[in-house]
Amino acid sequence: MSTNPNKMFKEIATFLDKYSIRIVEKELGRRHWKVWVTDGDKKSMIIVSLSPSDHRAYQNIAQSARQALREAP
């Protein structure tokens, strides 16, 4: 996982593309990013750490996005 935010979001976007999910918007907080994702029909927000250290970080982000979109109205 990259430490450069722009490169990190490109990597995340590429990983989410497998699930037909794309990043619509992102907002920087103090320690986390607020990231809005969409699957074309629904839009939802997920939280992404500024510096995820887990080796499964992309899988966890994808799972959070899929679950948030599933629960979105």
Mean pLDDT of the chain: 91
Choose between 30 and 3: higher pLDDT. 30
Asked whether 43 and 34 are in contact (CB, 8 A), the reply is no
Query: Is pLDDT of 2 > 90?
Result: no
How many domains are contained in the chain?
Answer: 1
pLDDT for res 41? 94
Q: What are phi and psi of 28, to 5 degrees?
A: -85, 130
Q: Could you list the residue range(s) of the whole structural domain that residue 31 is in?
A: 5-71
pLDDT band at 1 (very low <50, low <70, confident <90, very high): low
DSSP 31-55: SEEEEEEE-SS-EEEEEEESS---T
Calpha distance 22→15 (Å, rounded): 10
42, 48 contact by CB (below 8 A): no
Question: What's the chain's Rg over C-alpha atoms?
Answer: 11
- pLDDT tens digits for range 22-59: 999 999 988 899 999 999 999 999 999 888 778 888 89
